[in-house]
Amino acid sequence: MRFFWILLLLTPPPLVAAGLTIDGRLDESQWQSAQVFEDFVVVEPFTRAEPTYPTTVRLLALPEGIAVGFHNVQPPDVPRQRELTARDADMPGDRVNLFIDFNADGEVAYNFTVSLAGSIQDATITNENQFSTDWDGDWQHAAFEGEDFWSVEMLLPWTVAAMKNSGTPRRTVALMFDRVLGVRTERSGYPAATFMRPRYVSEFARIEIDQYEQSLLRVFPYATAAIDLKNDQQTFNAGADLYWKPSGDFQLTAALAPDFGQVEADELVVNFDAIEAFFSDRRPFFTENQGLFDLRTPDNGLLIYTRRIGGPRDDGSGLANDIDAAIKANGSALGFDYGALVAQESDYADDLGSLFYGQRLLRTGEQLSVGYLGTLVDRPFLDRQATMHAVDATWRANERWQVTGQVLASDIDDDIDSSGAGIWTRIDYTPRPYFRQEWEITHFDRELNFNDMGFQRRASLNEIEWTAEYQQTLDHPLLRGASWRGEWQWRSNDRGERLPGALILDRTWQYKSGATILLNAFLETSGVNDLITRGNGNVAIPFRQSYYLEYESPRLERWQFELSVRPYEEGLGGRALDVGGEVTYTASQQLSLDGYLYATDSSDWLVWQQDNLLGRFERQAVDSGLNINWFPRSKHELRVKLQWLAIAADNARAVRVNRFGAATASADPIEDFSVNNFGLQLRYRYEFAAQSEVFVVYGRGGFVENDRREDFDDLLSDALSLRDADQFLVKVRRRF
């Protein structure tokens, strides 16, 4: 069996010819007949002023796909930022973006970014302005640099994403183009829209283009070999992803033993809150054609959270579930977009794994879109079945008004059956391009629970929010823009108990040099925290305030940095301070380093212990990291990622919460403690063909919590010896 996979991985892929030579030069004759877009305005800051330098975009619809060419004027005396970055990493320099909604219905759009150095980023955009770089599309790109300009070519195959009505000779798409001038951090675009506002995708420019039918069948077999250096164990895994796209109207994705080789390191998180930490998902099967399923709620909820699939076992062993197989279908028919997702974890037949099912149906119109999302999770070890249903609607009344909302219902069948419901609506009003308001009303009852397949921060919530934003256009020798943002929140739980509300004020100054200053004030009213004791009573929280100041520098030759300071109150009114910053050093086009260091000092950190017992601690914390990215040759990438997070908590004081929410001193013994979390990853990546890669990865790290306070010198020296994981891994993934 292993020899089969090795031979399959080494078989060369078929060559695909394109109508254009994608080399970054817009010198082919076809470009002369292209549609032309050049009415760019400054969209960040959103002044709609004339850009510093002009940009011209050309678009062609070809049998091979949609071709887009950018011509960016930039005189030779204007510094050009051309450092290489890893795919989907933040791009600090000169770059261009194509945003395209293939169905022109405002539901799902795609972002394709190419930098002056030729680095790329691709992302999906859902819920108007929610970006996810987890998706990696199959498209061609190249950049070219001239004396007083630079240019980019892109070719998007017709199979790059699901499209309704793919058999018609013409189609309407919605587009947004933008260009970032790195030296000034100036973003100009066409049309005048910005993702900084809640309404973005629906404001793209709609154009009509020729359409061509195209089909695709691709198989991505993979193989991983891992050596566990700590436990002296070796493992070999193999599987495959299959993408079948007979047309834009139907696309099928399937996976056998899906590719879960750990080549992406999650950020280190130490979480003592009642709300779990959220992590993104870069597993290929779950990122392909996932935009239709990306339905969100207020309070940062997500109705399908794919990290649940293949997560920890229900038996409490701490082991992760493997996945036997998964399948996903997307398409459109009879005026509806539809999607279905099924995934079965290993050992489901033995009651150790779970079965996940999700379905989506969406009907879009010129002004009104209505959809349905349903999920079912069977967890036999817990004798639990969980279902969730959501009906969503978006009404785009005109260019000023947009109304969005959902109705949700959940049903849990286990030892204690429960059913819950929720409803929310958001109204966005933009009377002027420089001014907008938003109202949001939410009700989640206490039994609403979609956490089995989704991500829900809390149930039992009544919330009213009002937000207003105002963008100033300034005639100032130093400033190019400034903005105000205000938000008011009123909150209570489903029992009528008042949760802390807030008044939030932001003031931003954007300088012509590329620097940015942000000043924030966060005033939180008194109320009760009904989550911290995990169901053992409320904790009365006093009025608290927080202030935040951040300075982001312009590019200073090879350096760029960001500094921030945040004095605030936490716990039962104690004072705290966060200070820190980030710095980036570009040694050359091929080598860059970036690091961050943040420190916290708090006099009143509140941590739950058990039942209604809480601990109040003095806390010092350090969160730090270093990334080194080196591109020794084309298609070769070496990355070093180092993270260290440590907490020292002392002066422990026990308090118990009475039935009125008051915290009173207690004689219960509580120990000081410290937390040490360390992670190191060295990763080499070689792209030997399109969407075909070899990874060689070494990872080491660990977590420890001690029942005593330790000095940071000792924590740092101990961190280097942490070894919960110590692994060497080789992974090969091949496209056919």
Q: What is the pLDDT of residues 648-679, one digit of tens each?
A: 999 999 999 999 999 999 999 999 999 999 99
Residue listed under structure tokens 């109207």: 249
| Per-residue model confidence (pLDDT) at position 11 | 40
Q: Based on the domain organization, do 190 and 326 belong to the same domain?
A: no
Q: Answer yes or no: is 476 within a domain.
A: no
Q: Answer yes or no: is 41 within a domain.
A: yes
Q: Based on the domain organization, do 319 and 201 belong to the same domain?
A: no
Q: Based on the domain organization, do 74 and 188 belong to the same domain?
A: yes
Task: Name the token pair of 186.
Answer: 């100036």
Q: Answer yes or no: is 677 within a domain.
A: no
pLDDT tens digit sequence for 398-448: 989 999 999 999 999 998 889 999 999 999 999 988 899 999 999 999 999
| Beta strands per DSSP E along 512-634 | 516-524, 527-529, 539-541, 544-552, 559-570, 574-586, 591-610, 613-630
Q: Based on the domain organization, do 167 and 31 belong to the same domain?
A: yes
Looking at residue 137, what DSSP letter applies?
-
Q: Is the pLDDT of residue 5 over 60?
A: no
Q: Answer yes or no: is 640 within a domain.
A: no
Collapsed DSSP state (helix, strand, coil) of residue 292: helix
Q: Tell me the CATH number at 114.
A: 2.60.40.1190
Q: Which amino acid is at 23?
A: D
Range of the domain at 295: 278-428+443-459
375 - beta bridge partners? 358, 388
3-state secondary structure 341-363: EEEEECCCCCCCCCEEEEEEEEE
pLDDT tens digit sequence for 559-615: 999 999 999 999 998 999 999 999 999 999 999 999 999 999 999 999 999 999 999
How many structural domains are present in the chain? 2
Q: Is the pLDDT of residue 15 over 50?
A: no
Say what the pTM is: 0.90
Buried b (16+ CB within 10 A) or exposed e, 73-96: bbeeeeeebbbbbbebbebbbbbb
Radius of gyration of the chain (CA): 26
pLDDT tens digit sequence for 205-228: 999 999 999 999 999 999 999 999
Element spanning 593, H or E = strand 591-610
Q: Based on the domain organization, do 194 and 284 belong to the same domain?
A: no
Residue 146 and residue 119 in contact, taking contact as beta carbons nearer than 8 Å? no
pLDDT band at 13 (very low <50, low <70, confident <90, very high): very low
Element spanning 727, H or E = strand 725-733
| 208 CB neighbour count, 10 Å cutoff | 12
For residues 701 and 114, give the distance between their C-alpha atoms in angstroms, rounded to a whole number. Answer: 34
Collapsed DSSP state (helix, strand, coil) of residue 5: helix
- Coarse DSSP helix, strand, coil percentages of the chain, rounded to the nearest 5 percent: 5, 55, 40
Q: Is the pLDDT of residue 696 over 50?
A: yes
Q: Answer yes or no: is 392 within a domain.
A: yes
Q: Answer yes or no: is 401 within a domain.
A: yes
Q: Answer yes or no: is 513 within a domain.
A: no
pLDDT band at 261 (very low <50, low <70, confident <90, very high): low
pLDDT tens digit sequence for 39-89: 999 998 888 999 999 999 999 999 999 999 999 999 999 999 988 998 888
For residues 52 and 74, give the distance between their C-alpha atoms in angstroms, rounded to a whole number. Answer: 9
Q: Based on the domain organization, do 185 and 291 belong to the same domain?
A: no
Q: Answer yes or no: is 36 within a domain.
A: yes
